[in-house]
Amino acid sequence: MEKRFDEGFDNILVADYDKEYEGGYTINADTLVVGTERKKVSLNGEWHFAPDVFCSNIRSRWFDETKYNRNQEPIPYDADFENWDTIAVPGVWNNARREYALYEGAGVYYKQFDFDISREKGVRYILKIGAANYETRIWLNKTYLGRHLGGFTPFCVDVTQNLQQENSLLIMVNNTRKMEQVPTLHYDWFNYGGIFRDVEILVVPELHIQNSYIQLSKVKENSLEYWIRVKDIQKRAENLAWIEIKELDIHKEVRCLYMGKENLNGEEYYLYETKGSISINESRLQKWSPDSPKCYLVKMVCGEDQVEELIGFRRVNVNGRHIYLNGKEIFLKGICAHDEHPHALRSQSEEEIRHMFQEVKELGCNFMRLAHYPHSEMVARVADQMGILLLEEIPVYWAIAFRNPATVVDAQNQLRELILRDCNRASVIIWSIGNENPDSDDRYQFMKTLAQTAREIDSTRLICAACLFDVDKKQIKDRLISELDIVGINEYYGWYIKDFETLPMILNGYKDDKPILITEMGADAKSGYHSSSMEIFSEELQAEIYRKQFRVLLNTPAVRGICPWILYDFASMRRMSSIQNGYNLKGIISSDRTHKKMAYDVVHEVYHNR
């Protein structure tokens, strides 16, 4: 085939065209800089956008923006980003234009912006993206920076070297479902695509706090556990930092010791870390709880850098089949939710999140399962203030490629990014590492690795997974239970499984000395469809299944929490009957949030009278 460009570039026929764009500056949990109260410049707004069905941005190097040859003669080009239509960031492309509604593939975002880099010396500029689904590649001023995998967690890349006074930022996002990804090819929610959380440039000192953690020790009374990770472009033996909680008269100096160096994007960074505990008088501490969501202002300083966070201190643990918060036994009156809004889709505002929590509190809940992937960072921050306990999870959902080493790395990284992001959120009490995964040796090893990863970063929260009943043997038997603190169980007796009498039998046959959290139960109902004979998809049948479920579950001592599936109907392309019409109708409220179904009243009555 003749050469298309006189530069001799032509990889149109190359099959593994993107291999050279898988490496580069790996963007993962190691490059994540947390702390939302930082100096930052927002890049939210209208970005030029177009679908890139054949990944031509890479195959044909659109990112070079070549329009003239060496002799300055105009040559044909297939992409003039600056003239493309625009769509909103944050946002998904699916509701930006009708033709993008079901689009799965690569999309190219492009934004030109000025940045005053002369303003400050001795600072680093960190590009931070709150989430983009699924594979993201970044070019700044035509320089490829690297690739991030994962559709729901934040990621950062240091752009100090590449940022100019005038900039062009190209972000290629690909939401194609792939067997080796997490989640894999098949799942029961809508595969929205795009950059659906904030994009900003953090301005941090060269010596800055990258991640920090401070929580009430789970095992030691009167003790706060902390660690601080610091990054610098200078190598020193140590860096001093200090932790201050004025309201508790805490001011502790700590030594961040040199841990090693890393080379990112051609620059050497030096890593420092400190880890330890601070004695406190717990009798003076107003512990965080749903009824009293007290948070303290915690300041961490290292060199010129300062991170301030509102952090609630509470202790959650299990003993036998019981769950305790601050030493008092609790029952988790929960509900599940996807991160989806009828208009904002995956980009809910703080106000919309607050409205959801108000609805959840009116329902009588003290707990929520944020299914099946990390929701926005704002959710746990609002839950801290409004006093709702949370389970957060990564999308290790159904039949993941457990045997594939790259899949393990991807899942571990998403878990690390989630925990680093939310490890100081008092509302988060459970990390859940899987949902309805078919058992196998590979799956067991995969999940065991995830449980260990979570505990290495955060020893204070409970580890859970939504396991399946062994329906044939009619028992709860999953070797993963040995790695969990709380046994999550998804069961749909009365809906998918008709012989309801089996449910109490299985639950009463449960042998493990760990609490059961019913992580899902429920049934579909079309809003407004009523049937005195309890036809399938009627509100009456859904409500009756809820009543029967609660009667059994509330009389099973090992069940210490219930999370009906689900608060709102949600979009899913697996649900295409004329009744569902692209929606999973297991919500107790309609997807547009206007109609409470009869099952809502059942939950409301049970939770307000328990």
Which residues sit at the interface with ligand GCU, rule CB under 6 A?
188, 372, 435-436, 490, 520, 565, 584, 586
Contact 202, 195 (CB under 8 A): no
Please say which residue, 457 or 585, places its beta carbon nearer to ligand GCU: 585
Q: What residue number has its CB nearest to ligand GCU?
A: 188
Closer residue to ligand GCU in complex, CB, 248/399: 399
Per residue, the 3-state secondary structure of 45-75, as one string, reads: EEEEEEEECCCHHHHCCHHHCCCECCCCCEC
Rounded to a whole number of angstroms, the minimum distance from the CB of residue 400 to ligand GCU is 13
**Minimum distance of ligand GCU from residue 429's CB (angstroms):** 20
What residue ranges in 287-387 does DSSP mark as E strands?
296-302, 305-311, 316-319, 322-325, 328-330, 332-333, 336-337, 367-370
**C-beta closer to ligand GCU: residue 520 or 539:** 520
Least separation, in Å, of the C-beta of 437 and ligand GCU? Answer: 10
Q: How far is CA 9 from CA 1, 5, 69, in A?
A: 12, 6, 12
The DSSP code for 438 is P
Tell the smallest beta-carbon distance from residue 62 to ligand GCU (Å). Answer: 37
Integer Cα distance of 461 and 433 in angstroms: 13
User: What tokens does 358 get?
Assistant: 């108000």
Exposed e or buried b per residue across 289-306, where buried means at least 16 C-beta atoms within 10 angstroms of its C-beta: bbeebbbbebebbbbebb
Radius of gyration of the CA atoms of the chain, in A: 25
Whole-number Å distance between alpha carbons of 210 and 208: 6
Residue (302 or 523) nearer to ligand GCU, CB: 523
289 vs 490 by CB, closer to ligand GCU: 490
Nearer to ligand GCU, 372 or 381 (CB): 372
Residue 585 beta carbon to ligand GCU: minimum distance, rounded to whole angstroms: 9
Query: Per DSSP, what are the bridge partners of residue 169?
Result: 111, 140
When the beta carbons of 95 and 490 are compared against ligand GCU, the nearer one is 490
DSSP secondary structure code for residue 392 in this structure: E
For residue 490, the minimal CB distance to ligand GCU (Å) is: 4
Distance between CA atoms of residues 101 and 136, nearest Å: 20
What tokens does 3 get? 């050469």
CB of 436 to ligand GCU, least distance (A): 5
How far apart CA 457 and CA 199 sit, in angstroms, is 26
Nearer to ligand GCU, 136 or 432 (CB): 432
Shortest CB 584 distance to ligand GCU, Å = 5
Contacts of 16 (CB under 8 A, 6+ apart): none
Task: Give the shortest CB-397-to-ligand GCU separation in angstroms.
Answer: 7
Residues 276/212, Cβ–Cβ less than 8 Å:
no
Query: Please, is 16 exposed, middle or buried when counting C-beta atoms within 10 Å of its C-beta (0-12, 13-18, 19+)?
Result: exposed
What is the smallest separation between the CB atom of 467 and ligand GCU, expressed in angstroms?
11
Identify which of residues 121 and 498 has a Cβ nearer to ligand GCU in the complex.
498
- Min dist. Cβ of residue 232 to ligand GCU (A): 44
Tokens of 75: 């040559």
137, with CB counted inside 10 A (0-12, 13-18, 19+), is buried
Q: Which is nearer to ligand GCU, 215 or 490 (CB)?
A: 490
| E strands in 397-485 | 428-435, 462-468
Smallest distance from ligand GCU to CB 247, Å:
42
User: In terms of CB distance, is 30 or 520 closer to ligand GCU?
Assistant: 520
Q: Sign of torsion, CA 452 457 460 461?
A: negative
Nearer to ligand GCU, 435 or 460 (CB): 435
Whether the ω angle into residue 208 lies within 30 degrees of 0, i.e. cis, is no
